[in-house]
C-alpha cells in the first residue's frame, strides 16, 4: 500500500492508470544529492516554517548524506537568500519572513546542526521554491556529468516539489526518498509524492537509495 | 468556505496561518491570459488525458477568453509539442503519448473547438509542464509589459500549477480562476488550488476576472 | 562617423546594409540601469582585469547613475561571485582569479569608490558573463515593469555584451552608452559596439541617456 | 600564427596574457554537435543573410557531421522559427526577415542541401541567437549526458557565439572548429574566435575534431 492511498481514492488513481502514468524512471550512472532548505527556520519546532516531522527527517537524510559523502558524490544544500529589497524577495504570500522577529536573526538561516555542509559541498542560496531558479545548479550538475538527482528536504509540496519539477524539465532522473522529505501538512505531503511518482520521478525510501549506491561500482 | 476545506483539514490550514501564508497578491495594471493545454487529448472524454470536467471548464474559460479578446489583451494557448526522439520527449512517466493509438492522430493535438486560437493569439508548443520552459513566453510577456498572468486550463495539479510556479518565480502576479481549471483527480485539483492560494497567487473565479477587467480602464 | 568605422570596413558594413540591419530600437517608458562589474579588479589599474579607460568610464557612468538615482529608477550593480569549488566557478579560461595574489583579497571585489551601491540598489553576484545567468535579474525587472535596460560597465566585449544579449533575448529594449563601457582591447570594444548596434540594441552616449531621462515625465 | 593576429594587435593580446586568459579547455568524454543556422537564407549567396564563405564552410561541416554520424553521437541542427506576431519575433534590428520577398518563401528556411538533417537528428527552431534560448537543448544534452559541445555554423559573431556563450554558462566544454564557422564580416569572424579562445572555449580545426573523435573509444 502506498502512503498516498488514504488520500487519493481508487477512482482517482484509475484515471492515472488509464493513460499509463507511473512506472519507474530508475537510477542512472551518476547521482547527486540536493538537500532542500534544512535550516533552522524549517526544522526547529520554534520557527514558523517548521514541520513536525522535520527533526526526524533530518536524521534520515543524514544517512543518505553520509552515503554520498563516503563515495565523494556531489552534494548541494539550499537555503533562502535574505534580500532587503521587495523586488528581490518576490511576491511570496507570507508574512513571517519579514514580520516574525524570530526570522530576523541569522540563526534562522543556519543549517540544522546534523546537516551542516562540509567545505566541499555547495551551498546554494535561492529566492524561489526550486533550487534551480536563479542559481547555477544546472551548470554545476553539468560540470559533474550528473544524470540522477536525489532530492531530500522540506517542504515536500513546495521547494522539494519545485526542485523535482525543474530537474524533470532538464531530463534528470528524479529520485525522492519519501522518508527524507517532510511537510507542514500531511495531505500536501502525500499528494505531492503521489504526483511526483505518477509523472516526474521515483518515490522510494532512504534504504532504497543506500542500496542503489552500494550496488553501483562508483 | 473554500473548495479545499473538505480535503485540507483545519489543523493543516492552521500550520499555514502560523507563518502568515495566504492573503492577496492582486491584479496589476497589465494582464495576459494563458490557456494551458485545452486541446482534444485533454478535453474530449474519449482521450486518455481528459478530465471529466474539462468540457464545462472550456465553456467557462471561453467567457474569460472573450473578455480578453474584447480588450485586445495578449492571449497565449499552449499544447504539447510532438517529438520523434526520446531525448526531446523527456522522461515523462506515461505510456499513452507514444502507445495509445488515439494519441498518434493529429486530431489529438487540435485545440478544443470552443477555444480555437485566433490569428493574433500566440500558440506555444511545449514539452514540459510549464508554459515557460523551452518556450519564449517570458520574452513575449516582457514585450507586452505584462505584470499579471491569468492562468486557465488543465490539469490543475500539473501544467497549470507548473505554469503558475514559473510565473511566480518571475514575479508576475498569478491569478487562477478556479472554475477555469480542471484535473483528472478532485483531490489533486483542490490541493493544487490551496497551495497556489497560500503561497504563489490568487485563486478567484471567472466572474472575479471579468469584474477586474471591466473595472480597469485599459 | 561611428567609432567602429576604422575597424569594420565599408565592405563589411555593406553586408549588414544588405539585410537591413541597424536602425533604432528606442527608449521605452520604463528604464532600469545595470552597471556591470565596476569593482576594483576591473577598474583599478593595479588589477589584472582592469582596462586603461575604466576610471574615466566610471566617471561617465556616475553621471548616468546620478540621473537614475534622482528619478528613483531601478539600479543594479553586478560583481563576480567568489566560489571555492571548481564546479561553481565554471570553465573560465583564466588563471588570475585563482592564482594572482591580488585577486585573493576582498578588496578586489569591492565596488569602485565612485560607484558604491546605495542601500536601495540591488547588488547581483554572478558567475558568468551575463548579469541574467544564475541570478534573479529577470524577476526583478518584471517586478518593476521595466521595458528598457541601459547597460554600462565592463568589459564591452564580455560581460556587457553578454548582458545585452540576454536582455535582447528577453525583448528588453537594450541601450548602451558607448562612453559608459570599456574594454581591455580597443578592437574588441569597437566590434562589440558595432554588432550590438547592428543587431541587438542602440549604441548611444551618456548625454543621450540623460536627455531621454530628462524628456520623460516619469 | 593565429587567424586573428592581423586584427587583434600584440598590445591587445598582451592585456589578455596579463590575467592568464587562454589555454585549453579540452575535449571531454561525451561530445555532441550543434550545426547553427545552415539553412538556405544563411548559405545560398542569393539570400540577404548569406556569408561568402558559407558554401565552403558547409562542405567542411559535412566532414565533421559525418564523423558524428558514424559514431552515433547526438547531432542538433538549428534554424529560425518563423513567427507571425511581433512579440514572438522579438526586437531584432533587421528588415529582411519581414520585408525581403525572398525571405517570405519556405525555401529560405530549408536546410542547405549538403547538411539535411537525418531522422534521428534533432531540429531546433529558435528565435534568438543562442540555440539554447527558448528551446529544450539543455534538457536534450542532459538526456545524452553530454559534456562537450562542438559548435559549427553561422554566423560566427552572432548565433554561433551566442550558442557558445550559453554552453559555457552551463559548463559544457566548448569546441569551435574555425573552418566550420563563417560570418558576413571577416573582422567580426576573427574577433569572435579570438574572444572565444581567450575566455570560453577552444578554437580548433575540423581536422582536430576528427582526430579527437578517432582517438576516443566511444
- pLDDT tens for C74-91 read 999 999 999 999 999 999
Alpha carbon D187 to its chain centroid, in Å, reads: 17
- The shortest CB-CB distance from A170 to any of D29, D142, D145 is to D142
* pLDDT-derived band at C216, boundaries 50, 70, 90: confident
**A23 against A177, higher pLDDT:** A177
Q: Which chains are adjacent to chain D, needing at least 3 Cβ pairs under 8 Å? A: A, B, C
For residue A190, pLDDT beyond 70: yes
Cβ–Cβ under 8 Å, residues B209 and B64: yes
- Partner residues linked to A203 by β-bridges: A176
Q: Cell numbers 524512471 correspond to what residue?
A: A25
Look at phi and psi of residue B44 and say left if phi exceeds 0, alpha if psi is from -120 to 50, else beta. Answer: beta
Cβ–Cβ under 8 Å, residues B30 and B147: yes
- The shortest CB-CB distance from D138 to any of A30, A147, A170 is to A170
The number of residues in chain D equals 218
Helix (H) or strand (E) holding B151: strand B148-154
The dihedral through the CA atoms of B141, B145, B147, B153 has a sign that is: negative
Chain C contacts of A135, Cβ < 8 Å?
Answer: 134
How close B84 comes to chain D (CA, Å)?
A: 8
CA distance D137 to D169: 13
How close B106 comes to chain D (CA, Å)?
A: 19
Cβ–Cβ of D171/A140 closer than 8 Å? yes
CA distance D123 to C157: 30
Cβ–Cβ of C170/B142 closer than 8 Å? yes
* pLDDT-derived band at B217, boundaries 50, 70, 90: low
For residue B131, pLDDT beyond 60: yes
How close C145 comes to chain B (CA, Å)?
A: 6
Look at residues C180, C164, C182 and name the one whose alpha carbon lies nearest to residue C172.
C164
Chain B contacts of D122, Cβ < 8 Å?
Answer: 85, 87-88
For residue C155, pLDDT beyond 80: yes
How close A52 comes to chain C (CA, Å)?
A: 32
Cβ–Cβ of C22/D169 closer than 8 Å? no
Cβ–Cβ of B139/C170 closer than 8 Å? yes
How close D94 comes to chain C (CA, Å)?
A: 4
Calculate the average pLDDT of chain B. 97
**All 3 cell numbers of residue C126?**
554572478
Calculate the average pLDDT of chain C. 97
pLDDT number for residue C1: 85
Residue of C nearest to D156 (CA): C195
Q: Where are the alpha helices (DSSP H) in chain A?
A: 10-18, 40-43, 54-70, 86-89, 96-99, 137-143, 161-169, 186-195, 206-215
Question: Taking residues B131-145, what's their average pLDDT?
Answer: 98
Chain A contacts of C86, Cβ < 8 Å?
Answer: 143
Cα-based angle C173, C194, C172 (whole degrees, multiple of 5): 10
Which residues of C lie inside 8 Å of B (Cβ-Cβ)? 29-30, 138-143, 145, 147, 169-172
Chain B contacts of A25, Cβ < 8 Å?
Answer: 91, 93
Which residues of A lie inside 8 Å of D (Cβ-Cβ)? 29-30, 138-143, 145, 147, 169-172
How close D171 comes to chain A (CA, Å)?
A: 5
CA distance D57 to D177: 10
- The shortest CB-CB distance from A144 to any of C87, C91, C139 is to C87
Q: Count interface pairs A-B at CB distance under 8 A.
A: 145
Cβ–Cβ of D129/C165 closer than 8 Å? yes
How close D51 comes to chain A (CA, Å)?
A: 33
Percent of chain B with pLDDT over 70: 99
Chain C contacts of D94, Cβ < 8 Å?
Answer: 19-21, 199
pTM higher than 0.95, yes or no? yes
Residue of B nearest to C166 (CA): B139
For residue A218, pLDDT beyond 60: no
ipTM: 0.97
pLDDT number for residue D217: 61
What are residue C155's phi and psi, to 5 degrees?
Answer: -90, 150
Cβ–Cβ of B143/D86 closer than 8 Å? yes
Cβ–Cβ of D168/C90 closer than 8 Å? yes
Cβ–Cβ of B84/D134 closer than 8 Å? no
CA gyration radius, chain C: 17
Calculate the average pLDDT of chain D. 97
pLDDT number for residue B1: 85
Chain D contacts of A140, Cβ < 8 Å?
Answer: 171
Residue of B nearest to C139 (CA): B170
User: What CA dihedral angle connects C192, C198, C201 and C205, to 10 degrees?
Assistant: 70
Q: Which residues contact A170 (CB under 8 A, 6 or more apart)?
A: A132, A138, A141, D138, D139, D142
Task: Express each pLDDT in D57-93 by its tens digit.
Answer: 999 999 999 999 999 999 999 999 999 999 999 999 9
How close A131 comes to chain C (CA, Å)?
A: 11
Residue of A nearest to B167 (CA): A91
Preceding omega of A169 cis (within 30 degrees of 0):
no
Cβ–Cβ of D74/B87 closer than 8 Å? yes
How close C87 comes to chain B (CA, Å)?
A: 24
CA B100 vs CA A69, B93, D92: distances in Å: 44, 14, 42
Q: Is B109 exposed, middle or buried (0-12, 13-18, 19+ CB in 10 A)?
A: middle
Q: Which residues contact C146 (CB under 8 A, 6 or more apart)?
A: C30, C31, C32, C74, C172
Choose, out of B34, B87, B133, B143, the residue to mutate when testing the contact with D (most D CBs < 10 Å).
B87
Chain C contacts of A120, Cβ < 8 Å?
Answer: 85
DSSP per-residue codes, chain C: --TTTTTS-HHHHHHHHHTT--------SSEEEEEES-BHHHHSTTSTT--TTHHHHHHHHHHHHHHHHHTT--EEEEEEPP-SSHHHH-----SHHHH-GGGGSGGGGSBPGGGPPPTTSEEEEESSSSSSTTSSHHHHHHHTT--EEEEEEE-IIIIIHHHHHHHHHTTPEEEEEGGGEE-S-HHHHHHHHHHIIIIISEEE-HHHHHHHHHHS--
Q: Count interface pairs A-D at CB distance under 8 A.
A: 32
For residue D218, pLDDT beyond 70: no
* pLDDT-derived band at C217, boundaries 50, 70, 90: low
Q: Is C81 exposed, middle or buried (0-12, 13-18, 19+ CB in 10 A)?
A: middle
Chain C contacts of D173, Cβ < 8 Å?
Answer: 91
**B216 against B79, higher pLDDT:** B79
For residue C130, pLDDT beyond 90: yes
Cβ–Cβ of C90/D16 closer than 8 Å? no
Helix (H) or strand (E) holding D15: helix D10-18
CA distance C60 to C206: 7
Calculate the average pLDDT of chain A. 97
User: What CA dihedral angle connects A130, A131, A136 and A137, to 10 degrees?
Assistant: -120
pLDDT number for residue A24: 96
Question: Taking residues D145-160, what's their average pLDDT?
Answer: 98
Chain D contacts of A147, Cβ < 8 Å?
Answer: 142, 145
- The shortest CB-CB distance from C91 to any of D16, D100, D171 is to D171
Cα-based angle C52, C55, C61 (whole degrees, multiple of 5): 125
Question: Taking residues B176-184, what's their average pLDDT?
Answer: 98
Residue of D nearest to A167 (CA): D139
Chain D contacts of C16, Cβ < 8 Å?
Answer: 184-185
Q: Which domains does chain D have, with CATH numbers?
A: 26-215 (3.40.50.850)
Cβ–Cβ under 8 Å, residues A210 and A67: yes
Cβ–Cβ under 8 Å, residues C203 and C61: no
Cβ–Cβ of A195/B87 closer than 8 Å? no
Task: Express each pLDDT in C85-126 by its tens digit.
Answer: 999 999 999 999 999 999 999 999 999 999 999 999 999 999
Residue of B nearest to C29 (CA): B145
Chain B contacts of C140, Cβ < 8 Å?
Answer: 171
CA D95 vs CA A84, C22, C87, D157, D161: distances in Å: 44, 9, 42, 19, 22
Alpha carbon D180 to its chain centroid, in Å, reads: 8
For residue C218, pLDDT beyond 70: no
Which residues of B lie inside 8 Å of C (Cβ-Cβ)? 28-30, 138-143, 145, 147, 169-172
For residue B35, give the 3-state DSSP assignment.
strand
For residue B32, pLDDT beyond 70: yes
CA distance B156 to A23: 22
How close B95 comes to chain C (CA, Å)?
A: 35
Look at residues B157, B90, B132, B195 and name the one whose alpha carbon lies nearest to residue A129.
B195
pLDDT number for residue A216: 83
CA distance C134 to C38: 19
Question: Taking residues C48-74, what's their average pLDDT?
Answer: 97
Q: Cell numbers 541597424 correspond to what residue?
A: C22
Amino acid at each position: 500500500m502506498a502512503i498516498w492511498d488514504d488520500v487519493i481514492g481508487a477512482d482517482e488513481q484509475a484515471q492515472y492508470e488509464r493513460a499509463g502514468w507511473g512506472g519507474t524512471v530508475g537510477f542512472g550512472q551518476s547521482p547527486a544529492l540536493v538537500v532542500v532548505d534544512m535550516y533552522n527556520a524549517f526544522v526547529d519546532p520554534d520557527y514558523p516554517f517548521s514541520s513536525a516531522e522535520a527533526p526526524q527527517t533530518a536524521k534520515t537524510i543524514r544517512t543518505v548524506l553520509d552515503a554520498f559523502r563516503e563515495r565523494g558524490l556531489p552534494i548541494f544544500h539550499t537555503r533562502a537568500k535574505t534580500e532587503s529589497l521587495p523586488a528581490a524577495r518576490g511576491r511570496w504570500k507570507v508574512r513571517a519572513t519579514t514580520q516574525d522577529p524570530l526570522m530576523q536573526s541569522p540563526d534562522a538561516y543556519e543549517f540544522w546542526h546534523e546537516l551542516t555542509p562540509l567545505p566541499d559541498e555547495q551551498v546554494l542560496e535561492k529566492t524561489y521554491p526550486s533550487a534551480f531558479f536563479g542559481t547555477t545548479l544546472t551548470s554545476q550538475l553539468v560540470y559533474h556529468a550528473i544524470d540522477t538527482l536525489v532530492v531530500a528536504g522540506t517542504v515536500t509540496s513546495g521547494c522539494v516539489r519545485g526542485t523535482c519539477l525543474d530537474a524533470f524539465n532538464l531530463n534528470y532522473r528524479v529520485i525522492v526518498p519519501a522518508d527524507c522529505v517532510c511537510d507542514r501538512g500531511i495531505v500536501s505531503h502525500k499528494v505531492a509524492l503521489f504526483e511526483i511518482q505518477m509523472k516526474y520521478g521515483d518515490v522510494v525510501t532512504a534504504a532504497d537509495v543506500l542500496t542503489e549506491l552500494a550496488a553501483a561500482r562508483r
